[in-house]
């Protein structure tokens, strides 16, 4: 199986948004946060305001999950969306897309966006097989891994966390 | 001239008095003023030029004629590494001279996405307002309900009332309680977390009846070669990770690293090996400004003691250094609370803690009495007492609060009785630690030569400080090397012309104890570093990735040139960029000379103890050769003996117009 997916581990994320600037720069030719195809949502209010001190500083990753049976594909009236079986990416045919926004409405992750300049839908297409977000992630929070093994790095991290809590190892991060 | 890619394209001029807003294309604004973008780049370069044009005579910094200038650069908000920074400048209320400071988190980027390279705020509002920059629209909003609110509360209230569509869409640069009360060292604070410190611009905002500058930006920044920029940035970061010897320390400790690296900083008589333990405190993770690969913020929670449960985003070195050296606070929880409390009030930790420690000195010597201190028995190390004094200063409460709020220089003059001879400041600006002789020569020299007054951040060169004697050489051992090896490798990698390296480090090109303790090459290295700082403050990028600042190797001017060329389409070189830095630094010097008449006679320590033999460290039992080093420094810079740039130097740096005006 060739298919690889992007996985995100909030434990390592520093919230720097290098993934978003790399995404928009590579795909749009200009740097922007709003036009990046993936978003790191920054739930930071309590951290920077000092109010609600019990709350955590949370970064969250929203991007196309490249579903096996994409809902957006089902709803696209012009059949512009299909799943590329080689790369695993759900891609949009720019010629067929009419910019109706139906996919945007039905995507359960909010991972599809509308580009008002192009007047077309834009979404993550895995940069043709080398996702720039993963390339530019300085902390390793984003990984591009075989889909059927994607769960293992997270389990490894969780295992380390448990071991550290029990005082068995000193470093939570892998060496 | 036309503005190249990488710039946002507009300049926003807000007049609070007339309630007018003017949006001018950046190229028109720059050409009207004769500012060539390639010579001045942005950030500190633009701020220096604008201040130069607008302020020919001394002003009351808290009067309506002062300006708040926020300037980003071509680097800001692009995909270049550490692109989250911008600069904020004004006439500094504490020193009366040039003032600017770097700040980050997401505010500067959002401002650029909203379409602005520069924002200038003039005049004084008749009512308490904040300015909301919503992409192309700018409106004045009533801020009467925000009076007396702390920085964090202001962010929360403003974000709620402007109904941001997702969290973090709206970014807020606010002034705290101290700024409202015109405490002269009150910086504004971006998103309650990143302050352009040391400038006192928060007090300027307060004097203008301006609570906050709020921005929403949804645009994009055009680039000359987007994919080339990505490749250049990627290579730069990979090389950084391969060659930077202090990398592991950074990855583990973030911004408190410098205490780890500078293990030879002596505190209270002992060598500071334990500094490394102080710097290596427990935290959940490091968090960064936009596009940072070397993030410095700590997201942490205090586990035990009085402040148990407090969560905080920060843990920065200035607060730790101040707490340890000036306030003698040693408890981790208290130190973190100090940072949180001063951020909420909006006060500069260095200026406050130096003011406090000076007041303690005065109190102990009987220069100040219980009458002057509102009945408080001043001493270091008592956290609750320090919070009480901080509150008094921020609210200008009582005799002591009002006195310290004037800033150290004015306060010491007011008290008299010899208080000004023990006041630790240079040109009205306090520095970071009360004993100026503790550090090695170059770092301390920076206090005397900084355009901001006694300030260390325009010459934070760790090449002297990170050298650790063998017996406490723990970091070197930790990464499997020894200190001389680290220095040999770093010296080869340092991005500096070979000829210059020979002049600084000698023909043998060796860093050893002799070089650390000596004076050879220090003036030249100091001048190079200051030019380099002015360069990255003009681009604008972060000092926490730059060569010599907190790292031994870091990014040098060659890396900057490679990346900047991809952004703008220029064909600039490291030499050209270093000349830009030198130009900016020289104009700052000329600006202070014209405005305040500052010359070599002002490059002196107000605190006479600086001219006595040191009690510890490199200068134990010896007098620091300040005057000889300064004379050498002026010569290296091409300045006159009075410390003024000569006509030849000005012409070389394309400052002919300024030289003519000043009749150099």
Nearest to B543 by CA among B280, B292, B321: B292
Q: CB–CB of A49 and B192 under 8 A?
A: yes
The β-bridge partners of A43 are A58
- A57 and chain B in contact, CB less than 8 A: yes
Q: Are B87 and B570 in contact (CB under 8 A)?
A: no
Which residues on chain B are in Cβ contact (under 8 Å) with A17?
290-291
Nearest to B333 by CA among B388, B400, B278, B257: B278
Size of interface A-B (CB pairs under 8 A): 135
- Could you tell me which chain A residue has the CA closest to the CA of B229? A25
- B313 and chain A in contact, CB less than 8 A: yes
Q: Are strands B137-142 and B129-134 parallel, antiparallel or unpaired?
A: antiparallel
Q: Are B118 and B129 in contact (CB under 8 A)?
A: no
**How many beta carbons lie within 10 A of that of residue B269, not counting itself?**
8
Residue A130 to residues A89, B376, B638: CA-CA distances in angstroms?
Answer: 11, 65, 51
What region, left, alpha or beta, does residue B214 occupy, with left being phi > 0 and alpha being psi -120 to 50 degrees? beta
- B299 and chain A in contact, CB less than 8 A: yes
Nearest to A31 by CA among B217, B339, B246, B417: B217
Crossing angle of helices B349-365/B332-345, nearest 10°? 110
Res B490: pLDDT: 93
Q: Are A72 and A112 in contact (CB under 8 A)?
A: yes
- In chain A, the N- to C-terminal Cα span, in Å, equals 29
Q: How many residues does chain B have?
A: 664
Residue B109 to chain A, least CA–CA distance (Å): 9
Which positions ≥6 away from B177 have C-beta within 8 Å?
B148, B149, B150, B344, B345, B346, B394, B395
Tell me B92's DSSP state: -
Q: CB–CB of B313 and A57 under 8 A?
A: yes
CA distance B280 to B478: 14
Q: CB–CB of A31 and B309 under 8 A?
A: no
Residue A147 to chain B, least CA–CA distance (Å): 26
Give me B519's structure tokens: 């004076």
Res B312: pLDDT: 86
Q: CB–CB of A11 and B77 under 8 A?
A: no
Tell me B555's DSSP state: B
Residue B31 to chain A, least CA–CA distance (Å): 25
Which residues on chain A are in Cβ contact (under 8 Å) with B222?
29-30
CA distance A92 to A99: 11
Q: CB–CB of A48 and B153 under 8 A?
A: no
CA distance B305 to B310: 10
Computed over its alpha carbons, how large is the radius of gyration of chain B? Answer: 23
Closest CB from B168, B226, B292 relative to A25? B226
Q: CB–CB of A18 and B291 under 8 A?
A: yes
Q: Are strands B429-430 and B425-426 parallel, antiparallel or unpaired?
A: antiparallel
Closest CB from A21, A48, A55 relative to B152? A48
Res B286: pLDDT: 84
Residue A109 to chain B, least CA–CA distance (Å): 15
User: How is A113-141 classified by DSSP, letter by letter?
Assistant: EEETTTTEEE---GGGGS-HHHHH-SSS-
Give the side-chain half-sphere CA count within 13 A for B532.
28
Mean pLDDT, 10 residues at a time, over chain B (664 residues)?
A: 90 97 96 95 97 96 96 96 96 95 95 97 97 96 96 92 92 96 96 90 97 96 97 95 83 63 41 46 81 87 84 83 81 87 92 95 95 94 95 96 95 93 94 77 90 90 80 75 89 94 92 87 96 96 90 93 97 97 97 96 93 83 92 96 96 95 91
CA distance B14 to B213: 11
Q: CB–CB of B310 and A53 under 8 A?
A: yes
Q: Architecture of domain B10-216 in CATH?
A: 4-Layer Sandwich (3.60)
Residue B190 to chain A, least CA–CA distance (Å): 10
Output the pTM of the full model: 0.94
- A69 and chain B in contact, CB less than 8 A: no
CA distance A126 to A6: 9
Query: Where along chain B do its domains lie?
Result: 10-216, 441-662
- Could you tell me which chain A residue has the CA closest to the CA of B112? A32
Q: CB–CB of A16 and B292 under 8 A?
A: yes
Q: Which of A9, A19, A21 to mutate to test the interface with B (most CBs of B within 10 A)?
A: A21
Residues 135-174 of B with CB under 8 A from A: 150, 152-153, 155-156, 159, 166-168
Closest CB from A14, A41, A51 relative to B295? A14
Residue that has been written with the tokens 């924002």 in this structure: B119
Res B1: pLDDT: 56
Residue B388 to residues B392, B406, B547: CA-CA distances in angstroms?
Answer: 6, 17, 40
Res A127: pLDDT: 94
The β-bridge partners of B88 are B70, B101
CA distance B257 to B172: 28
- Could you tell me which chain A residue has the CA closest to the CA of B164? A45
Residue B404 to chain A, least CA–CA distance (Å): 26
CA distance A37 to A128: 14
CA distance B355 to B350: 8
Closest CB from A28, A50, A136 relative to B152? A50
Tell me B35's DSSP state: -
Res B86: pLDDT: 97
Give me B492's structure tokens: 């080869």
Q: How many residues does chain A have?
A: 175
- Could you tell me which chain A residue has the CA closest to the CA of B234? A136
Q: Which of B135, B287, B302, B569 to mutate to test the interface with A (most CBs of A within 10 A)?
A: B287
Burial of B280 (0-12, 13-18, 19+ CB in 10 A): middle
Q: Which helix (H) or strand (E) holds B332?
A: helix B332-345
Give me A123's structure tokens: 């979404």
Closest CB from A25, A54, A57 relative to B79? A25
- B296 and chain A in contact, CB less than 8 A: no
Q: CB–CB of A50 and B113 under 8 A?
A: no
Tell me A147's DSSP state: G
Provide the sign of the torsion angle of the four alpha carbons B155, B160, B164, B168, taken in this order. positive
Q: CB–CB of A136 and B289 under 8 A?
A: no
- Whether a cis peptide bond, with omega within 30° of 0, leads into A115 is no
Q: What is the third-level CATH fold of B441-662? A: 1.10.599
Nearest to B390 by CA among B379, B376, B404, B377: B404
Closest CB from A31, A45, A56 relative to B78? A31
Which residues on chain B are in Cβ contact (under 8 Å) with A21?
78-79, 83, 290-291
Q: CB–CB of A31 and B299 under 8 A?
A: no
Residue B128 to chain A, least CA–CA distance (Å): 22
Give the side-chain half-sphere CA count within 13 A for B660.
5
Mean pLDDT, 10 residues at a time, over chain A (175 residues)?
A: 85 92 96 94 77 75 94 96 90 94 95 90 93 94 90 82 77 60
As for the ipTM of the complex, it is 0.92
Q: Are A88 and A4 in contact (CB under 8 A)?
A: yes
């Amino acid at each position: 199986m060739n298919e690889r997916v992007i996985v995100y581990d909030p434990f390592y994320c520093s919230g720097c948004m290098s993934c978003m600037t790399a995404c928009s720069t590579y795909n749009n030719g200009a740097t922007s946060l709003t036009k990046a195809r993936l978003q790191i949502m920054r739930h930071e209010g309590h951290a920077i305001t000092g109010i609600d001190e019990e709350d955590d500083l949370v970064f969250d990753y929203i991007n196309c999950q490249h579903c096996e049976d994409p809902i957006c594909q089902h709803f696209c009236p012009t059949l512009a969306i299909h799943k590329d079986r080689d790369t695993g990416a759900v891609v949009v045919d720019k010629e067929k897309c009419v910019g109706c926004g139906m996919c945007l409405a039905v995507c359960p992750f909010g991972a599809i966006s509308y580009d008002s300049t192009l007047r077309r839908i834009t979404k993550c297409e895995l940069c043709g097989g080398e996702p720039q977000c993963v390339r530019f992630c300085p902390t390793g929070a984003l990984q591009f891994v075989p889909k059927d093994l994607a769960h293992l790095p997270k389990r490894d991290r969780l295992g380390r966390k448990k071991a550290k809590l029990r005082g068995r190892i000193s470093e939570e991060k892998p060496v | 001239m036309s503005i190249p890619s990488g710039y946002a394209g507009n300049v926003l001029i807000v007049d609070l008095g007339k309630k007018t807003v003017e949006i001018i294309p950046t190229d028109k604004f720059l050409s009207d003023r004769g500012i060539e973008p390639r010579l001045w780049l942005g950030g500190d370069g633009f701020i220096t030029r604008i201040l130069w044009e607008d302020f020919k005579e001394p002003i009351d910094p808290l009067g309506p004629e002062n300006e708040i200038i926020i300037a980003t650069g071509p680097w800001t908000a692009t995909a270049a590494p550490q692109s989250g920074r911008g600069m904020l400048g004004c006439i500094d209320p504490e020193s009366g001279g040039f003032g600017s400071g770097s700040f980050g988190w997401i505010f500067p980027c959002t401002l650029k996405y909203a379409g602005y390279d520069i924002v200038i705020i003039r005049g004084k509002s008749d009512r308490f307002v904040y300015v909301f920059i919503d992409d192309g629209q700018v409106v004045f909003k009533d801020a009467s309900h925000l009076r007396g609110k702390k920085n964090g509360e202001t962010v929360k209230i403003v974000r709620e009332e402007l109904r941001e569509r997702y969290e973090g869409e709206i970014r807020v640069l606010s002034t705290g309680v101290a700024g409202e009360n015109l405490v002269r060292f009150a910086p504004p604070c971006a998103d309650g977390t990143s302050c352009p410190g040391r400038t006192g611009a928060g007090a300027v905002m307060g004097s203008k009846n301006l609570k906050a500058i709020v921005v929403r930006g949804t645009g994009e920044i055009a680039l000359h070669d987007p994919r080339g920029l990505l490749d250049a940035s990627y290579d730069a970061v990979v090389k950084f990770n391969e060659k930077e010897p202090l990398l592991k320390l950074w990855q583990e400790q973030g911004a408190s690293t410098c205490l780890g690296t500078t293990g030879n900083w002596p505190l209270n008589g002992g060598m500071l090996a334990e500094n490394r333990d102080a710097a290596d405190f427990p935290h959940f993770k490091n968090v960064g400004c936009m596009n940072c690969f070397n993030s410095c913020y700590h997201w942490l929670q205090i586990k035990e003691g009085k402040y148990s449960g407090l969560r905080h985003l920060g843990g920065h070195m200035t607060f730790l250094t101040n707490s340890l050296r000036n306030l003698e606070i040693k408890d981790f929880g208290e130190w973190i609370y100090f940072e949180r409390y001063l951020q909420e009030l909006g006060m500069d930790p260095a200026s406050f803690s130096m003011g406090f420690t000076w007041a303690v000195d005065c109190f102990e010597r009987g220069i100040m009495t219980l009458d002057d201190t509102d009945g408080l028995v001043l001493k270091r190390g008592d956290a609750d007492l320090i919070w009480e004094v901080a509150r008094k200063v921020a609210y200008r409460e009582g005799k002591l609060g009002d006195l310290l709020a004037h800033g150290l220089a004015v306060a010491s003059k007011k008290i008299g009785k010899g208080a000004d001879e023990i006041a630790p400041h240079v040109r009205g600006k306090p520095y970071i630690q009360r004993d100026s002789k503790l550090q090695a020569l170059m770092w301390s020299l920076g206090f005397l030569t900084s355009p901001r007054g006694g300030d260390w951040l325009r010459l934070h060169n760790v090449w002297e400080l990170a050298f650790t004697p063998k017996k406490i050489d723990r970091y070197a051992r930790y990464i499997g090397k020894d200190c001389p090896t680290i220095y040999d490798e770093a010296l080869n990698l340092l991005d500096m012309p070979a000829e210059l390296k020979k002049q600084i480090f000698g023909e043998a090109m060796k860093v050893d104890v002799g070089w650390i303790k000596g004076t050879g090459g220090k003036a030249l290295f100091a001048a190079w570093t200051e030019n380099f700082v002015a360069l990255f403050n003009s681009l604008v990028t972060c000092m926490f990735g730059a060569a010599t600042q907190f790292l031994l190797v870091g990014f040098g001017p060659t890396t900057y040139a490679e990346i900047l060329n991809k952004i703008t389409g220029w064909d600039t070189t490291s030499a050209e960029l270093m000349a830009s830095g030198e130009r900016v630094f020289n104009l700052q010097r000329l600006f202070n000379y014209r405005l305040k008449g500052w010359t070599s006679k002002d490059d002196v320590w107000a605190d006479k103890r600086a001219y006595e033999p040191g009690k510890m460290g490199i200068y134990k039992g010896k007098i620091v050769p300040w005057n000889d080093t300064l004379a050498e420094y002026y010569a290296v810079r091409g300045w006159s003996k009075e410390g003024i740039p000569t006509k030849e130097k000005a012409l070389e740096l394309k400052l002919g117009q300024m030289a003519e005006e000043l009749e150099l």
